[in-house]
């Protein structure tokens, strides 16, 4: 799986830098597929042919992602236009309210302008003023000007629409959203309500980022400080969070006496719901897929391999969206896990950390090596994208990561206890307030050290 991922990634990179005709690559893929079938019993030849097929498939995936249907809304709009559009569709993301303005993705279905009516597809980013509460999946007819974005919003956003009057937004009283996503966002709203009800604004904002990946309520000063110390990754929902959710689900289902196989199946459903609730970012999708493969291995009684699981997670994401290969989130997420999977065991063997006694020193040494391995792999990406270098990262993470772990565990405990026994939630709320204050002060201490970070 790792070699398939490597050649597929090379193919995507090749197509990104060189212009090639789609039909030519499609023809090559067809010929290679037939040739692989013919020489399937020839070990060396079949491996070479399959590597070539993986490369061509990667090229084909990226080229195909650039091909849009004729009904796609990007074919009807321009960078500058005063044309007024009437668009029918539904809200395709969780609406965000900030400064009296709702922001959301809108999946277009029908389009009307200049007295002409068209079928439409694709998402646009909508800014809607003075509206009442909005929900994911709600169907609307919107009226306003649409233009192509002047800055990068990702592959999903093809246009931007500003609706300045509530009269230009008419609800159709229908909901087209996917039931699983609706349930995920409903649970997210309930969890956030508990968090912001029980905690101060700062502590709630930090916990919201750690548990649900919502970073909009973190003060910019705090976020900037963590970026300089190289500890901002704790504000991203990752494999640890997925592991906590899986552990809690397994424990609750085990108490209910549910069999192991059924337990694994139900935990997979819980993880998928949690993935959608946190916005399905690359780290969460990667961790969810790896967990799903691991649990599926238990169901079919096969031992899971972490390297293959990591490669399968990357392949799954790239098959759905090959352009993610060039996104910062994808690169940092998989680089961190790859560093732990491949580099950390080498460092562990080199420094002989297994022979260290007592156990507490062994745990500290292994924590240092994990931090060092991820820092060595990701420092090049951080330097390239963010133009700064943080030598203090390894030292800071030795203290910050365990503290962030405590905050995350207390956060999940707060939510569960608040639902079952509200009076007992005060203990976890107080603990979170203390740990968040300690985390921010510790992080500020590390950023003030000499040569803690350098701008490039």
- For residues 324 and 13, the answer to whether their CB atoms sit within 8 Å is no
Q: How many CA atoms lie less than 13 Å away from 388 in the CB half-sphere? A: 18
pLDDT at 194: 92
- For residues 109 and 120, the answer to whether their CB atoms sit within 8 Å is yes
pLDDT at 298: 82
Looking at 138-222, which runs of residues are DSSP E strands?
Answer: 138-147, 157-163, 169-175
pLDDT at 193: 92
pLDDT at 152: 57
Distance CA 310, CA 291 (A): 10
- Superfamily per CATH, domain 73-177: Nucleic acid-binding proteins (2.40.50.140)
pLDDT at 387: 85
Give the domain ranges of the chain.
2-65, 73-177, 238-326
pLDDT at 140: 92
Residues of the chain with pLDDT under 50: none
Q: What is the pLDDT of residues 284-336, one digit of tens each?
A: 888 888 888 888 888 887 877 888 888 888 998 899 889 889 888 888 888 98
In angstroms, what CA-CA distances link 27 with 10, 33, 40, 49, 172?
19, 10, 20, 15, 46
Q: How many C-beta atoms surround the C-beta of residue 380 within 10 A? A: 11
In angstroms, what CA-CA distances link 108 with 88, 159, 196?
6, 11, 34
Distance CA 345, CA 119 (A): 55
pLDDT at 68: 87
- For residues 443 and 395, the answer to whether their CB atoms sit within 8 Å is no
- For residues 110 and 89, the answer to whether their CB atoms sit within 8 Å is yes
Q: What is the pLDDT of residues 370-425, one digit of tens each?
A: 888 988 998 888 888 888 888 899 889 888 988 988 999 899 899 989 988 888 89
pLDDT at 155: 63
DSSP state at residue 216: T
pLDDT at 11: 94
């Amino acid at each position: 799986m790792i070699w398939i991922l490597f050649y597929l990634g090379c193919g995507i990179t090749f197509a990104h830098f060189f212009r090639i005709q789609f039909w030519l690559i499609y023809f090559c893929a067809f010929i290679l597929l037939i040739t692989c079938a013919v020489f399937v019993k020839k070990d060396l030849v079949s491996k070479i042919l399959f590597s070539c097929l993986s490369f061509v498939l990667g090229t084909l995936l990226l080229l195909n992602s650039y091909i849009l249907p004729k009904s796609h809304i990007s074919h009807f709009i321009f960078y500058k236009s005063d044309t007024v559009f009437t668009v029918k569709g539904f809200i395709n993301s969780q609406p965000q309210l900030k400064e009296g303005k709702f922001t959301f993705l809108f999946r277009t279905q029908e389009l009307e302008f200049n007295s002409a009516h068209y079928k439409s597809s694709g998402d646009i980013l909508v800014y809607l003023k003075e509206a009442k509460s909005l929900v994911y999946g709600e169907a609307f007819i919107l009226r306003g000007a649409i233009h192509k974005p002047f800055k990068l919003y990702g592959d999903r956003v093809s246009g931007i629409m500003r609706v300045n009057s509530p009269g230009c937004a008419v609800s159709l009283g229908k909901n087209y959203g996917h039931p699983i996503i609706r349930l995920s966002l409903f649970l997210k709203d309930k969890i956030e309500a508990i968090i912001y009800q029980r905690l101060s604004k700062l502590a709630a904002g930090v916990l919201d980022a750690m548990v649900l990946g919502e970073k909009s309520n973190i003060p910019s000063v705090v976020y900037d400080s963590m970026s300089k110390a190289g500890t901002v990754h704790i504000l991203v929902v990752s494999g640890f969070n997925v592991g906590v959710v899986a552990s809690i689900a397994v424990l609750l289902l085990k108490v209910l006496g549910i069999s192991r196989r059924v337990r694994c199946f139900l935990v997979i459903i819980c993880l998928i719901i949690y993935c959608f609730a946190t916005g399905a970012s690359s780290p969460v999708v990667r961790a969810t897929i790896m967990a799903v493969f691991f649990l599926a291995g238990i169901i079919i009684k096969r031992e899971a391999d972490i390297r293959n699981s990591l490669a399968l997670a990357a392949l799954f994401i790239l098959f759905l969206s090959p352009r993610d290969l060039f996104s910062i989130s994808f690169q940092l997420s998989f680089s961190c896990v790859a560093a732990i999977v491949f580099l950390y065991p080498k460092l562990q063997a080199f420094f002989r950390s297994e022979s260290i006694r007592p156990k507490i020193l062994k745990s500290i040494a292994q924590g240092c090596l994990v931090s060092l391995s991820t820092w060595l792999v990701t420092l090049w990406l951080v330097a390239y994208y963010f133009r700064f270098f943080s030598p203090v990262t390894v030292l800071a993470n030795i203290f910050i990561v365990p503290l962030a772990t405590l905050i995350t565990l207390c956060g999940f405990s707060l939510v569960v206890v608040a639902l079952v026994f509200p009076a007992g939630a005060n203990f976890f709320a107080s603990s979170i307030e203390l740990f968040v204050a300690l985390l921010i002060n510790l992080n500020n201490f590390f950023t003030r050290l000499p040569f803690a970070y350098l701008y490039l």
